[in-house]
Amino acid sequence: MPELTRFAPSPTGWLHLGHAYAALFAHEQAARGRFLIRLEDIDGTRARTEYEEAIFEDLAWLGLNWETPVRRQSDHFDDYRAALAKLEALDVLYPCFCTRREIQDEIARAGNAPQGPDGPLYPGICRNRSAAERAERIAAGETYALRLDVAKGTKLVCSELFWTDRGRGRFKAQPAVFGDVVLARKDTPASYHLAVVVDDALQGITLVTRGEDLLEATHLHRLLQELLVLPVPEWHHHRLITDETGKRLAKRDDARSLRSLRAARWTPERVRKALL
Ligand code: GLU
């Protein structure tokens, strides 16, 4: 079946060899289908136009072509708000007033906090506040994030959820891996998990390709899709490109940025060979 795939970089740094691998991988999976680029720029404090321009320049240099217009997440907060409203209507969200500090202190106090892929899970401080307290604090102007009550959401779904990775087979979803995740941040009415699920559905992505560092996130995304009644794509989590010490490349790793390699007269063919 011809696939619709996407490469979804955040314009918060120069693309490096790891991004080139991810982009080429997605492009290749769509060989007889369609390929999109999506700019994941909801983090307004870190996203920059110059990085955005560089993304297009680097990808064109690599020989990729994509459909336009390119979806830019920061243009679509209304879509994320609509999804939040749906979840709110299901009563699976709650306002979280906690500061980072309060969360850390509670985790230290309780000891033995359950760990998720990104560190200790949110200890649930705001999960059971009364409706009256929530209303009062909101009315008083306190800022808050919206968290997903994962246990409640999972219960609502009733049946077990499954998802398929093209390279690794079928998984039974474990939506609680990240605990009660933030779906709308205090400063941004969305989060990575919410935006990616909404966008993949709105754009009709049939095969979500991304690095294996995001494999765990798929467990949660599967639950969000079910709660929001969205179509379920397939996934293909691919390997990550590492440096010679085995460490995965990071945005600050400027020496392996595609710009530096271009400046050092690498050709697109050489990049492709280096990624084999
Ligand atoms: N924006 C994410 C990243 O730069 C990719 C998200 C995804 O492909 O789901 O890692």
Mutate to test the pocket of ligand 1, among 192, 203, 212, 249 (most ligand atoms within 8 A of CB): 192
| Interior angle at CA 167, CA 162 and CA 171, nearest 5 | 20
For 272, counting Cβ atoms within 10 Å of its Cβ (0-12 exposed, 13-18 middle, 19+ buried), the class is middle
Tens-of-pLDDT digits for all 276 residues of the chain? 899 999 999 999 999 999 999 999 999 999 999 999 999 999 989 999 999 999 999 999 999 999 999 999 999 999 999 999 999 999 999 999 999 999 999 999 998 889 999 999 999 999 999 999 999 999 999 999 999 999 999 999 989 999 999 999 999 999 999 999 999 999 999 999 999 999 999 999 999 999 999 999 999 999 999 999 999 999 999 999 988 888 888 776 776 899 999 999 999 999 999 998
10 lines ligand 1 (CB under 6 A): yes
Ligand 1 atom at minimum distance from 200 CA: 9
**DSSP secondary structure code for residue 16 in this structure:** B
Is 40's C-beta closer than 6 angstroms to any atom of ligand 1?
Answer: yes
- CB of 58 closer than 6 angstroms to any ligand 1 atom: no
For residue 8, how far is its CA from the centre of ligand 1 (angstroms)? 5
Q: How far is the CA of 40 from the centre of ligand 1 (A)?
A: 7
pLDDT tens, position by position, 21-41: 999 999 999 999 999 999 999
For residues 81 and 189, is the Cβ–Cβ distance under 8 A? yes
Q: Is 8 in the pocket of ligand 1 (CB under 6 A)?
A: yes
Q: Can you read off the two tokens belonging to residue 261? A: 């390699």
Nearest to 197 by CA among 223, 170, 165: 223
Strands 119-120 and 115-116: antiparallel
- pTM of this structure: 0.95
210 lines ligand 1 (CB under 6 A): yes
Taking the C-alpha atoms of residue 13 and residue 52, their distance in angstroms, rounded to an integer, is 9
